[in-house]
């Protein structure tokens, strides 16, 4: 396997798993002293063993990790080979020319390399037949790369896997079709292409619920195993469910068509596993109420809410683009002015949330959306939002709710919280964007919570001299342990960020 792939695997793993845990995995594999060089060839088994260890660490299916890795390296390969990629090329053009401009370069530099054989036939401007053959049989990696390219170019590519080496065929055959864009007057400006978050990966099951919609035919268990109903997700009231886009602990998100207006929307429905959990039902209802009350260009918009067979749902704009986490991983080192712009727009969205008497409680890169092509920022996922007048203490079982790496100390300890808790999370996110380090993340939840309580991170400008001192100071003030020492509100933060932006070259 080419050393370039090992290099990209390390970058991917450090982002998905964490640098220290990845070093532990390398040690377990006996590779902790190995320095992978892009100029060398390595045994295939080394890479496959590392992927298997990473999947085990994440409690994820290895095939899904391989596909997710493929999505990651797609943009990395484009960046590395940007000089030979023609400006007018899109997803199908890149795939059609991959054998020529990437694999040939690999073979010239490393005659011993054995990249897969790719044969592509362009059937029409929007259709391409791809033949993939390799002793490694990494067809899921190929699928991931195709999806990653589609993400990069903001295109919708339908992949039909006609033949597969894993099922005994001598090669894999893919039919790729670029979907035509809808008339912009008939859709919103969004494409809610949720990235696979392998850090929260949950295995699917075809037997999670026997609940059916009002038609008595569409069962929720089928949704969690799309192979049972690959082209038919049924309907939810006037909404025809086209594709499952994401699944979390509380809800399932579908891309859907509003049959009344022909508008593409996102429909979020309470997860079937949670339908009997009254606490989760209340939390889902809280998200609906929270989103309905907020009006801001920087907060996802809710169109409608409803309930079918005791399953509440909300209908939202269907976002085109990706999460901030995916956006950042695609481009890695964002320019300072771009980081500040993202922070300003996030702060404006938070201000609208706080003006409605709410605290988001789970602000993080996965819950911030970067729209395409405008790059407008929107805050999403209000499943943990609370009114500031409600009790926000720990549950009786001692469990906390939120993401520890971006959580305020008062939230982690179960103390009452107010909008300044979101400002702390904003500070964590800003620190991460500037330094590529999560300021309090450790190998365990306990370690992260301990760091939240006791650790003071190194100011960003001391880690990177290009960081403006005033931006570093603001970030550190947002990360103050005591809420009283943080900025007074979002508007103060926005003004200070705007002043800093004016001075950035």
- Which active-site residues does the annotation give? 362
- Distances in Å between the Cα of 82 and the Cα atoms of 68, 75, 76, 94, 375 are 22, 10, 10, 11, 21
CA distance 151 to 370: 12
**How far, in Å, CA of 468 to CA of 501, rounded?**
10
d(CA 56, CA 453): 30
State how far the Cα of 267 lies from the Cα of 259, in Å rounded to an integer. 13
d(CA 490, CA 379): 14
How many residues can be counted in the chain?
A: 505
Q: Which residue has the tokens 């100029």?
A: 39
From 60, 57, 69, select the one nearest 20 (Cα to Cα): 57
Burial class (CB in 10 A: 0-12, 13-18, 19+), 145: buried
Q: Which two tokens stand for residue 137?
A: 């049989």
Tokens describing residue 66 = 């391989």
Burial 29-53 (b: 16+ CB within 10 A, else e): eebeeeebeeeebbeeebbebbbeb
**Are 366 and 379 in contact, with CB atoms under 8 Å apart?**
no
| 341: Cα separation from own chain's centroid | 20
Instruction: Please name which of 103, 11, 77 lies closest in space to residue 50, comparing C-alpha atoms.
Output: 11
Q: List alpha helices for 277-435, DSSP H.
A: 278-293, 324-331, 336-355, 409-413, 420-435
Q: Side by side, which strands form the sheet with 239-247?
A: 235-236, 239-247, 251-258, 263-270, 311-317, 302-308
Asked whether 435 and 464 are in contact (CB, 8 A), the reply is: yes
From residue 150, alpha-carbon distances to 108, 145, 321 in Å are 28, 9, 11
């Amino acid at each position: 396997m080419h050393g370039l792939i090992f290099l990209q695997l390390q970058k991917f793993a450090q982002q998905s798993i964490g640098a220290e845990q990845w070093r532990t995995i390398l040690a377990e594999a006996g590779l902790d002293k190995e320095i992978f060089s892009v100029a060398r060839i390595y045994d295939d088994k080394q890479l496959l063993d590392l992927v298997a260890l990473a999947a085990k660490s994440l409690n994820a299916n290895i095939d899904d990790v391989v596909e997710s890795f493929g999505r990651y390296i797609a943009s990395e390969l484009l960046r590395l080979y940007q000089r030979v990629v023609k400006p007018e090329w899109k997803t199908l053009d890149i795939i059609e020319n991959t054998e020529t401009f990437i694999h040939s370069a690999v073979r010239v530099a490393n005659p011993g390399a054995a990249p897969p054989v790719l044969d592509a036939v362009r059937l029409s401007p929007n259709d391409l037949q791809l033949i993939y053959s390799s002793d490694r049989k990494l067809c899921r990696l190929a699928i991931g790369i195709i999806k990653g390219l589609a993400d990069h170019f903001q295109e919708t590519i339908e992949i039909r896997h006609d033949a597969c080496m894993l099922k005994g065929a001598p090669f894999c055959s893919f039919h790729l079709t670029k979907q035509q864009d809808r008339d912009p007057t008939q859709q919103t400006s969004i494409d809610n292409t949720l990235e696979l978050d392998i850090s929260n990966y949950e295995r699917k099951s075809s037997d999670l619920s026997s609940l059916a919609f009002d038609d008595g035919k569409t069962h929720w268990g089928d949704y969690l195993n799309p192979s049972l109903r690959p082209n038919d997700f049924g309907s939810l009231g006037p909404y025809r469910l086209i594709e499952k886009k994401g699944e979390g602990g509380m809800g399932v998100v579908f891309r859907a068509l509003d049959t009344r207006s022909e508008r593409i929307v996102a429909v979020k429905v309470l997860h079937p596993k949670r339908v009997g959990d009254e606490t989760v039902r209340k939390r889902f209802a809280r998200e609906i109420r929270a989103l309905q009350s907020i009006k801001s260009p920087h907060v996802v918009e809710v169109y409608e809410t409803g309930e079918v067979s005791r399953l509440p749902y909300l209908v939202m704009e269907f976002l085109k683009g990706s999460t901030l986490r995916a956006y950042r991983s695609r481009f890695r080192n964002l320019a300072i002015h771009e980081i500040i712009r993202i922070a300003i727009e996030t702060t404006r969205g938070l201000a609208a949330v706080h003006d409605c008497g709410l605290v988001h409680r789970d602000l993080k890169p996965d819950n911030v959306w970067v729209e395409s092509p405008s790059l407008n920022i929107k805050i999403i996922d209000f499943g943990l939002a609370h009114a500031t007048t409600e009790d926000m203490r720990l549950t009786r079982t001692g469990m906390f709710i939120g993401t520890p790496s971006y959580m305020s100390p008062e939230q982690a300890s179960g103390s009452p919280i107010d909008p300044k808790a979101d400002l702390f999370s904003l500070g964590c996110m800003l620190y991460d964007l500037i330094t590529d380090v999560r300021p309090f993340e450790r190998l365990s939840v306990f370690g992260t919570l301990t760091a939240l309580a006791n650790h003071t991170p190194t100011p960003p400008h001391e880690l990177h001299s290009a960081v403006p001192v005033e931006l570093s100071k603001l970030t550190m003030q947002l990360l103050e342990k005591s809420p009283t020492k943080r900025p007074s509100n979002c508007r103060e933060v926005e003004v200070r960020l705007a002043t800093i932006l004016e001075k950035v070259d």
